[in-house]
Structures are given as C-alpha cells and as structure tokens.
Structure 1
C-alpha cells in the first residue's frame, strides 16, 4: 500500500501528519509513505529526521490583495500542479492525505483529478482557503472540531478530532514532575507561546512571575521560545527575580518533551493553535488562551472562542493582554478549585485522544476501495 501525505509550513500541519503516518504504520506495517512539502517549510528539516522520504513542490501562498508578486506566485502554482501530478503518477498512491498548508493544494488536486482517493484533515474551527477549495474535489474530510463541519459538504465530512502524539496520553504526573524537579502535589501552571514563542505572552508573564516568586504554593513552567529566551531572562533579572532562589519557577527556551509538561499541568497559558488545543483537551487541562492575532482567517480566535463557549478556557485577546489582566485571571482560577475542576471536565469532554486511530481507519478504508 502506497500513501502520500502532504502538509507544510508549520509544526501544526506537520506533526499531525506524522502522527497519522505512525498510526497507519502500526495497523499496516508494510505501508509505504511519501511526504510532499516545500523546501522553505519546517517539513524540509523535520521529515528527513523522521526517516520519511520527502518530495517538494515549489509553491507559496497568495497575498490577500492584487499585487505583481501574486502573478508570479500564480505561475508557480500552475507549475506546482504539474509537478504534483508527476509525483502522484510516479508513486502510484492508494490514498493521499492533506493536513494543511498551501502545498496541499497542488498534490490533493492532482490526486483527485487522477481519481486517487483523497482526505483532508481540517484542524481549525474555521477552515483556510486551501481546504475550502479542496473540499469540492476530495473524497473525505476529517474535521478536528464539530464547528468546522458546517463549512464542508455534509456527505463528505466526519468529526474525528485532531490527531495527537501518543506520548501526550502516556505521560504521568508524578514521573513528569520529578523530571522537572517539581512537587506533583502542588498546582502547576504551564506557559507556552509555541515553538517560536509569543512575545506578548512572555512580556505579560514578567510581572506575573515576579509576584509568583512570593507564592511558592503554585509552580510555574514558562517556555519562552528560543528567540525570546535571552530577552525574558534579562527582563526578569532587571525586575529583581533570582530564579536560582525560586525553585518553584522555571523558565526554559524550549521543551523537547512537552507531553511531560502537560502531564503535570493544572492550568495552561497558551496560544490557540489547533494542535496545542487538541493536546490540552485530550488531557483535560483548563487554559487561558491568547490567540495569535495574525493567523490566517483569524482561526486562532475562532478556536479559542469555541473552547471558551464550552467552559474549557478563558480567552484574552492579544490586544487586551497585560500583566495585570493575566495575573488577575490566573489568581481567580488558581484560587477556586471548583471552577478549575469544572473547566477541566469541560476540556476533557472536548478531547479526542482516539482521533489519529479514527483517521487512520478512514484512510485505510479509502485505500482498500482504490
């Protein structure tokens, strides 16, 4: 069985794709995979390290208004479709999967036109333009949220949830706390703006951490992102916070084992990317969400509002984020166990830890009818 998987640009498109691949491999060890991405995206670095073959298509997203550069990109898109068609013909896939990013457009369109079964996995509440267009051509659509279903043809779409890494569910609180030198009996707050960090969250956390230094009953693990780390450390030092003397507060540039951090978290301060939210809800972690304001289609705000409406999270818009506002919400939630527990239950009710397995079954079913 041959399967093409395409997803590019950000980890939010790539890691769900890898999770689906690994899940299919468990069910069908002889399956052969080809990952299709771009040379510019993170996939060019991540996919070879995963031991997966990578083919690339040269394509870029269009700007939202008419520009001369868009004409050049349109030409590349046409060439991209032609190259994608050659990739499909040469690999002879039984199914093609797309997890998001502009590169999915040419490869899934080419596969559909060549009558290969296709599936897109839509992670966000509001789909991007690429998946809205592809919905007219693909065979099936796996929606990460119930809200997303209304944007797609009813006969094609199935609510599966978003795929998450197996380690997210297997990590245990006591072992994870010990790995960070934390006390598993104390409440723990996990702060992360994603792999690249979020300056607005990092800046707002400075005064919050200074205040938290005097309250050792709550532990804080703040992941700044590599590019932001030195600035955050300098600001904390200028504010008089000596992290060597505050063992209940840790500031890290990056975490290679986020599942362990989540396993010990009682509350999270996060952006609102679909993959991060899928992992938080799978574990039932209440969250304070600060959506990235420049995400395509403003999808992070829509994602955050869905969790807030369900009672699983509180949202603070990026423009409204201050140390005072963030500190007040943290204090409110951490001082009210009943409220925090209700949020955890609401979060857990939205989680779909079995999503990867369900999507894998859909793909195998499509491939079997090739």
Structure 2
C-alpha cells in the first residue's frame, strides 16, 4: 500500500527505448532530489517496457495499449478497446493516492494516461526528445504545465498554451564521467594504437543492416592509413560480422557500457536517434548521422539536419551512404583536425549532460513538491 506521505508521480510512455529511458532517468533524478516522490510507470504490454521495467527499482503497470494503425485502420478497434480498459485501470491505480502529476515521455503508451490526467485535473508535463515532435506531444502540448525539449528546434513545431513553459533542457542521458580516460588510454584498452584515428560505428541495440553492410565492405577493402574501427553490430546481426575483426577493427555485438568506446572515438557513424545524438554531443564527438528512413514522421532525418545545422555533425541520407562516401568522409575528417575541432566544440555547445537533474529540479519547483 502506498503511504499517504509519499507523493506519487505517474510516468507514461514507451513502446521504444527513446520514449522509456528518458522517463527512467528523470524518475531517478526526482527521487535523488526529493526522496518522498514515488514514481509509478504506466506502459504498454507490447512495448520495450515489458522487458525493461521489471529490471528497475520502480513500480509499474502494463496495460493493453495499442498505437494508431494507419496502414490497417480496422485494427484501431483494438486501440479503442485497449484505451477504455486502460482508463479504468488508471482510475483504479490512482484511487488510494492520486498522482501529483503525470509526466508523458512520448509514444502511444502515453496518450491514455495524459488524457486521464486532463479529465481529472492532474497537472501534465511532457518530454519530447526529437526535433520533430511526435503525435502525443503535439496532441497534449497546449494544456501541459511544462514541455521539456531535447532539441530546441522542436519549439517551432509546437502549439502550446499561454501558461505552458517550454524548456529546452535536453535529453536525459548518463553523463560522461567527470574524470574520463584520455583517448590514448582508452585506445590501449581496445588494443589499438595510441595515435589511431578511431571511428565508432553504432546502429543501436538491434543493429542497422544498412550501416553494417557498408562498414563490412569498407573494412574488407582495406581501411585508410591510421584508421581503426570500433563497431557494434547489434546482437541479432553479430554472427554475420564477427569475422571482420582484425588488428585495426574491433567487432562487438553490443557496447554496454559504451563509455570506453566514446572515450576512444574521434568520429562516430550512427543512426540519428535523439538519445544517441545527446550522448555524442555530451562527449563532444563529431559524427556522420545516417537516419533510419522508416522512422515515424522521419524524425531521425529532422534530428540529423538540426545537428548538422549546428555544426556538430554531417547528415548522410541512407541512400547516399556507400563504401565510397564513407571512405571519403573518414579520410577528409582524419586529415582535417581543424574541422574536427570545430565539430567537437559545436557538439559540446549543444550538450545537456545534466538534463535529467535539470528537468527533475524544474518539476519539483513548478509543482511545489
């Protein structure tokens, strides 16, 4: 039973890691700053939260939530039935100790809880990680107490209420350690030369076939002089690429923790998810961003374009990402330390490594908790 002395805050969001992990980081920062706050996560039975939330320290409720089915609209009957059941479940969940606020972190798993909060007079807050706000954020921004942005550019695409705060405080990430290894030390840990030009390739936990195929062909044709690669293929694709390991190539299914790879890297080649970009900026790593073309509302392309406009990255559409373009880009940046330094500085200027703590502080102050 929840103690009446505790202050409950519902977190609603998920479906993907980009909508769940920011909520977890904010919740941990809230508890650290105000131990009387009790986060409770509301998510979907079919999302990533099904696997992640049981491993955390937080209470959670998984509901039969569904997205809007645009391509198969007859399935939206499931969406409606699931929403009705979820509404009743949230009402029951709130009965012994109503939440002080509902914080939505995006995705289809957030909508019903935010709508419930509006109907019951519970303040709502939103975190939008991407430069192009998602459907949930756009739908609920006008009545929110605060909208926290990962990309400041998202503000131009939002209609908010007269009393809504819009705060570009960044994406909550694990910040770089205050005392990190030097690049040379990090490279020794990887068994790479101190003076190598290290390219970090990451396609996400599941990997990115389009990136892996190009990087695989590139490493087999022969890397440019002095170039080394740390390459995370994704767990499901690792078997096809582990044979590419060599004196200057390190192949891993997954990098966890990833800090030692970041510490060694001169350049990153990645997708353009908001959390990935936030981490690269926090570490000051120049990047080649290759957005996932099928991402919802093409939000990764918007993220990549915004980051390129800031000077921190180069945007490469997947259709243009070839062995030739990758090789040319790596050679160009290897031989141009001035440009790399400019990109490094631009990345650090966009970085918000303390985003989780800053957002938590704002939540506590705004709600008087």
Same fold (TM over 0.5): yes
Conserved 8 A contact 1:95-1:366: no
Report what 1:31 is aligned to. 37
Q: Write out the 4+ residue segments of structure 1 that deviate beyond 6 Å after TM superposition.
A: none
Range 349-358 or range 298-307, more displaced: 349-358
CA distance in 2, matches of 1:184, 1:28: 44
Relative distance call for 1:166 and 1:348 in structure 2 (3 A) is closer
User: Mapping of 1:1-370 within 5 angstroms?
Assistant: 1-65=7-71, 67-150=73-156, 151-153=158-160, 155-156=163-164, 157-167=166-176, 171-174=180-183, 176-213=186-223, 215=225, 217-233=226-242, 236=244, 243=245, 246-368=246-368
- Residues of 2 paired with 1:213 and 1:291: CA distance? 24
What secondary structure does 1:105 align onto? Answer: helix
CA 176–85 in structure 1, closer or farther in 2 if over 3 Å, else same = farther
Question: Is contact 2:224-2:327 (8 Å) kept?
Answer: no
Q: Cα distance 1:161–1:184, how it changes in 2: closer, same or farther (>3 A)?
A: farther
Instruction: Provide the residue aligned with 2:4 in structure 1.
Output: none
Structure 1 position 98, deviation (Å) = 1.5
In the TM superposition, what whole-angstrom CA distance separates every residue of 1:292-312 from its partner, at most 9, and x where no partner exists? Answer: 111111100000000111111
TM-score, normalised on structure 2? 0.91
- Number of residue equivalences: 359
CA distance 1:91–1:268, shift in 2 (3 Å): farther
Secondary structure of 1:166's match?
A: coil
Offset at 1:155? Answer: 4.2
Q: Over residues 323-354 of structure 1, what are the superposed CA-to-partner deviations in whole Å (9 max), with x where a residue is unaligned? A: 11111111111111111111111111111112
5+ unaligned residues in a row in structure 1: which ranges? 237-242
Q: Is the 8 A contact 1:222 1:251 kept in 2?
A: yes
Structure 2 portions without partners, runs of 5+: 1-6
SS at match of 2:235: coil
SS in 1 for 2:327: helix
RMSD: 2.0
C-alpha separation in 2, matches of 1:87 and 1:152: 31
